[in-house]
Structure 1
Amino acid sequence: MGNKAKSLNLLGLAMRAGQLVTGEEGVLKEIRGNKAQLVLIATDAGASTHKRIQDKTTYYEIPFYDGFTQAEISHAIGRSRTTIAVMDAGFAKKLKELLQSEG
Structure 2
Amino acid sequence: MSEQQAMSLLGLANRARKVISGEELVIKEIQSSRAKLIILSKDASSNTSKKIQDKCRFYNTPIQFVETRETLGKAIGKEARVVVAITEKGFAQKLAQLLGES
Question: Aligned-pair distance for 1:37?
Answer: 0.2
- Normalised to the residue count of structure 1, the TM-score between the two structures is 0.94
Tell me the distance in 1 between the aligned counterparts of 2:97 and 2:65: 15
Cα RMSD (Å)? 0.9
Q: Which residue of 2 aligns with 1:94?
A: 94
SS class of match (2:25): helix
Q: Unpaired runs of 5+ in structure 2?
A: none
Aligned sequence identity (%): 39
Question: Aligned-pair distance for 1:79?
Answer: 1.1
Q: Which residue of 1 aligns with 2:16?
A: 17
- Normalised to the residue count of structure 2, the TM-score between the two structures is 0.94
Number of positions where the alignment pairs a residue of Structure 1 with one of Structure 2: 101
Q: Unpaired runs of 5+ in structure 1?
A: none
Write out the 4+ residue segments of structure 1 that deviate beyond 2 Å after TM superposition. Answer: none
Q: Which residue of 1 aligns with 2:51?
A: 52
Tell me the distance in 1 between the aligned counterparts of 2:41 and 2:100: 17
